[in-house]
Amino acid sequence: MNKEFHWQYRTLEEADYPFLMQRLNAWWGGRAMTDMLPRLFFTYFHHSSFVCLDGTRIVGFLVGFLPESSPDTGYVHFVGVDPDYRRSTIARSMYEHFFRHCRQRGVSRVKCVTSPTNLTSIAFHQRLGFRASAYDGEGQPIAALDYDGPGQHRVLFTRALEAQD
């Protein structure tokens, strides 16, 4: 692992699809995640999606896009990090890279969603400055029920981007 944490980035390419699909479920601890990332993201959203490299090895990726229907908003659809590189700042640095990309295009906020059972993801997004759409009386994020279909609850997050952020 690169202990100096000087990650390099490039835009996601359609040619990255087979490599990442072969590893995606393993990177997610055996969970079946490949259906969440169809090839269309690699084909049509590659200009706002990035891979993180340690030398020539892909060690992480972020799939994001800038929706035409909401030009002030960036959206992070999916993030993955090679398990050998966990706790090495890759996820944070990929988000920061995406934030810079968004600010350069006049985007003032970034949104994403996560499962209410993924407590690690919820805590990570809150550390990055994301705010959930709703909180309970104890300050815990409240999920939007059936957001992605029956029984598919999601915590909705938004983070404002400052000009010098």
d(CA 126, CA 135): 12
In the chain, domain spans: 1-107, 108-165
d(CA 120, CA 75): 19
Per-residue pLDDT tens digits of the chain, which is 165 residues long: 444 457 899 999 999 999 999 999 999 888 899 999 999 999 999 999 999 999 899 999 999 999 999 999 999 999 999 999 988 889 999 999 999 999 999 999 999 999 999 999 999 999 999 999 999 999 999 999 999 999 999 999 999 998 764
Predicted pLDDT at 164:
60
Topology given in CATH for the domain delimited by 108-165: Aminopeptidase (3.40.630)
Distances (CA, A) of 38 to 17, 46, 61, 62, 136: 9, 12, 14, 14, 34
d(CA 61, CA 16): 10
Contacts for 59 with CB less than 8 Å, ≥ 6 apart: 7, 52, 53, 81, 82, 84, 85, 90
Fold agreement between 1-107 and 108-165: yes
pTM score = 0.91
In degrees rounded to 5, what are phi and psi of residue 74? -105, 150
What superfamily in CATH does domain 1-107 come from?
Gcn5-related N-acetyltransferase (GNAT) (3.40.630.30)
CA-nearest of 58, 115, 114 to 82 is 58
Residue 85, helix vs strand vs coil:
helix
**Each residue of 122-155: b (16+ CB within 10 Å) or e?**
bebbeebbbebbeeeeeeebebbeeeeeeeebbb
Contacts for 165 with CB less than 8 Å, ≥ 6 apart: 99, 103
